[in-house]
Copies of this chain bind each other. A is one copy, B any other.
Amino acid sequence: MPISTRLKPNLYKDSVALMRIAEQLLQDPQIIRATLVMATPANKEILEEAGLLNGAAGAAYPSDLIIVVEASSQAAADAAFEKVDASLSRAAIQTSGSTAEAAPRSLSMGLPRLAHANIAQISAPGAYAGAEALKAVKAGLNVFLFSDNVPLEQEVAVKRLAQAKGLLVMGPDCGTAIIGGVPLGFANVVRRGRIGYVGASGTGLQEVTAQTHLLGEGISHAIGTGGRDVKAEVGGITLLMALDLLEADPATEVIGIVSKPPAPAVMNAVIERAGRAGKPVVVCFLGGERIGAPANVHQTVNLYDCAAACVALARRQPPVASKFAPGKSAQGFAATQKYIRGLFSGGTFCTEAQVALRDTGVSAWSNVPLSQASALPDPRHSQEHTLLDLGDDDFTVGKPHPMIDPSTRVARIAVEAADPATAVILLDVVLGYAGHPDPAGALVPAILKAQTGAQAQGRRVVFVAFVCGTEEDPQVRSEQEARLLDAGCLLGRSSTEAARMAVALVAA
């Protein structure tokens, strides 16, 4: 297949725009490969490894655009280059807008047009980004610096100058921020609210803001610092300034901090600053140890726990303790352990699990079987894979339904866990009016006891559960899920998913 190369001297396009154009070209089945890159030394090296670097491209400058197309015919390649030209000129038109006015190409061109601008978002190759950030700070702007590969000494210089001027520099390599509801960089759509985050971690900040939203609360501000902010050289300048801002912000009732463990001196400064914030502060130093912390500072071990603790504190509830002690080591099933035992309070969930097992080629006995061939002879005794509806008449004579009274299920969990053939115990937890006020909590002691008992006999019983209900239910979905997770259960999103997970475990 012919490989053709074109060069566009002095035409800078960012890598995302170039990827989009390449994707368009590849929709034509006649195009085998299509690559558009700036002719930086690194990119030229990659092209060379792929055998795509010809003489002209090899001599190109970093400010030149290289286009390489492998097509089934020269005509197809030519058509591709025409498409590239059209895309590039369309992009230029879009950039310049429909007015006659030229698009601003620098900070000094753009600033006079936006008199009230107070923040600059900078996305440029790392070698230039630091200088742009410095210009912005000198012009009195806060900075969101998306670019990476900015030299550390430039970061320190820009941040120190900004600090002296009372300006915030988020980044370099700052992936995410939400300032007063405005998303910068990668950011999720979350409601506004009373929890403010600061993060030296882009996706970490995305996750805590998204989980906060999923848990029903909202975000005042989410301030990114860039990952190196917590290094000793930078000293946490941005993180500490962000804490000042969140403390002063009346909309922020709880502050969350997400970061890898900072350098020791930075850690001390952050904890000391958090201790006198006058608001509850939740910290998550991913991978770090438990540290001594003032009373208002709550430490968590993962992102979900961090968000959940912030939500609980905002609601004036005690946050669930985040577990620092290393968990039990992952032990395999003993040779005898082969089967799934489902103990359901909802009859439909028992049926749904049977369908899910059947659809993966696994048959299960049941007291409410899909067909008579799989009817469990004696509901009091499980055999092979068994899925039980504990709300069926076999189990409810003279007793309340298991959605109200956990005693039948508690007793049966002990029986199944003691059976050397049991590998996985599958549970539903149904919330809502008229049900048990804490159905997960009612099962947890039995779950813990079952795990300990099996372990003492050299076995490992895995619990897989799922919750039916909403955040608004009296029992609160997320709180019930947290109890199950805390007891070491794996959680499925639905009865079908929990059953699939159980099958994957016993198949493995």
A423 to B508, CA, bound (A): 9
Interface residue ranges, A against B (CB under 8 Å) = 15-16, 19, 37-38, 40, 42-43, 46, 148-149, 176, 183, 185-190, 201-204, 206-207, 210-211, 213-214, 227, 258, 260, 286-287, 301-304, 323, 326-333, 345-349, 351-352, 354-356, 358-362, 370, 393, 396-400, 403-405, 423, 428, 430-435, 460, 462, 468-470, 472-474, 481, 485, 490-491, 493-497, 500-501, 503-508
Known pairs A186-B435, A435-B186; A500 contacts B508 (CB<8 A): no
Known pairs A286-B352, A494-B207; A15 contacts B400 (CB<8 A): yes
Contact A352 B435 (CB under 8 A): no
A390 to chain B, nearest CB (A): 12
A465 to chain B, nearest CB (A): 12
B-side contacts of A460, CB under 8 Å: 507
Contact A494 B398 (CB under 8 A): no
Query: Which residue of B has the minimal Cβ distance to A466?
Result: B207
Identical subunits present = 2
Contact A19 B400 (CB under 8 A): yes
Known pairs A19-B405, A186-B433; A351 contacts B497 (CB<8 A): no
Known pairs A207-B494, A330-B361, A508-B462; A430 contacts B468 (CB<8 A): no
Known pairs A430-B186, A430-B206; A201 contacts B348 (CB<8 A): yes
Known pairs A496-B303, A496-B304; A433 contacts B504 (CB<8 A): no
A425 to B15, CA, bound (A): 28
User: 18 other contacts beyond A203-B428, A287-B355, A505-B508, with CB at 8 A cut-off?
Assistant: A15-B398, A186-B432, A186-B434, A188-B433, A189-B473, A207-B468, A210-B431, A210-B473, A286-B351, A287-B358, A302-B496, A328-B360, A330-B361, A330-B362, A460-B507, A462-B504, A481-B493, A491-B493
Contact B286 A355 (CB under 8 A): yes
Contact B15 A361 (CB under 8 A): no
Contact B490 A501 (CB under 8 A): yes
B-side contacts of A434, CB under 8 Å: 185-187
B-side contacts of A46, CB under 8 Å: 397-398
A256 to chain B, nearest CB (A): 14
Contact partner of A190 among B202, B210, B472, B497, CB < 8 A? Answer: B472
Query: Which residue of B has the minimal Cβ distance to A185?
Result: B434
B-side contacts of A327, CB under 8 Å: 359-361
A35 to chain B, nearest CB (A): 10
Contact B214 A470 (CB under 8 A): yes
Known pairs A149-B393, A189-B432, A203-B346; A287 contacts B370 (CB<8 A): yes
Query: Which residue of B has the minimal Cβ distance to A467?
Result: B210
Contact A148 B393 (CB under 8 A): yes
The 7 closest A-B pairs by CB, nearest first: A203-B346, A329-B361, A204-B348, A330-B507, A43-B398, A189-B472, A188-B432
